[in-house]
Every structure is written in C-alpha cells, then in structure tokens.
Amino acid sequence: MTTLFVGGTESISDEGVSQDSLYRQAVDTLSSSLHRLARAYELDPEARRDLLQEIHLHLWSSLAHFDRRCSLRTWVYRVAHNVATGHVIRQRRIRSKLVSIEDIETLPGGDWSEFAAGQAEALQRLSVLIRRLKPLDRQIIVSYLEGMDAASIGEITGLSSGNIAMKVHRIKNILRRWFGGGLHAE
C-alpha cells in the first residue's frame, strides 16, 4: 500500500498550516489506525487497499476545510468512518445482508473451537464478527477499540455520550456472546 503524499516538506505550526502539512501529520500519527479501520470495514485485501486509498484521498481533500473546531484525530476518524460507511453501503447490494444488534438474538450458533486455536486467529475472528455489524455499530466499536472515549465517538457519529456508552456496552456483550457462543462469522 502506498500512501498519497502531496506537496513538499513543511513545518507544522498552529496557524497557517497547509493542507499538505495537516495530511502528513494525520498520516504520521494515525496511519496504523486507518489501516485497522479499513480492515474492520473490508475483508478482501484488494478492496481494503482501494478503501484505504479512498480514505486517504477524501482525508486530504477534506483538510482544506479543517477549521480546528475539533481535534485533527476526530476529524480524521470522522472522514475515515464516513468514507468507509459509504463503501459498505455501496457494497451492500453485492454482499450478504448485515446484521443489526436487534437481529442478533435470532442468529444460529456454530462451533468455533478449531478456529480460535491461536491469538491471531482469534483476532481475525473478532474482526470478521465486527464486519457483521451495521455500519453505525461497527463505527462505534472500532472507535472504542481504538481507545476513543464516548464523547469523542459522539463527536464523530453525532450521538450523545450516553447513547454511545450504552451502545458500546451492548455491542461488547453481543460480540462476547458471538465469540464465546460460536457464531459462524462467514
């Protein structure tokens, strides 16, 4: 994966920061988070690279309008989640139907004992289970797993902190049940 870098090297200051400098700062500090976010939204490696490229393009374009009313981190996550959600919505017509938290109770179980043999396999399994969530629920749990608090996630999603905290709690319980109960991910 190559990252789109635009312009020359410039120092980053609080005022008069260029779009290119903001982009480089965002990529330098949040690149691995953007990779994990793309992985949470897209299973196919080729499509994931395309999604990540689209995120970078939209991020760079959006930074021309960044007015510092929120942190750069919040801005980056908001743009990345919006692009990823749009990607999921576009792919929904092609891929299998996503499951809402409310519909989870009706899903059949299965046997995951072989699949969960190692930590890497367990992380892959969790990632697959997260992909089954609807885009908003996925956005919330991915942000939570990235260490964001309810207030920051609320800024990104437009939901209240209390609503975010409640949803995180419900999603964690659902994922725990799926993971421990042996729900087949694919």
| Residue type at position 85 | T
Q: What is the per-residue pLDDT for 114?
A: 39
Q: What is the per-residue pLDDT for 90?
A: 79
Q: What is the per-residue pLDDT for 166?
A: 93
Is the pTM higher than 0.75? The answer reads: no
Q: What is the per-residue pLDDT for 99?
A: 54
Q: What is the per-residue pLDDT for 42?
A: 87
Query: What DSSP character marks residue 100?
Result: -
Q: What is the per-residue pLDDT for 10?
A: 33
Closest residue by Cα to residue 76 from 119, 37, 121, 120: 37
- Give me the average pLDDT of each 10-residue run along the chain (186 residues): 40 61 93 92 89 94 91 93 86 58 53 46 81 90 88 90 92 86 55
SS3 94: coil
Count the residues in the chain. 186
Q: What is the per-residue pLDDT for 97?
A: 53
Question: From its phi and psi, is residue 7 left (phi > 0), alpha (psi between -120 and 50) or beta?
Answer: left
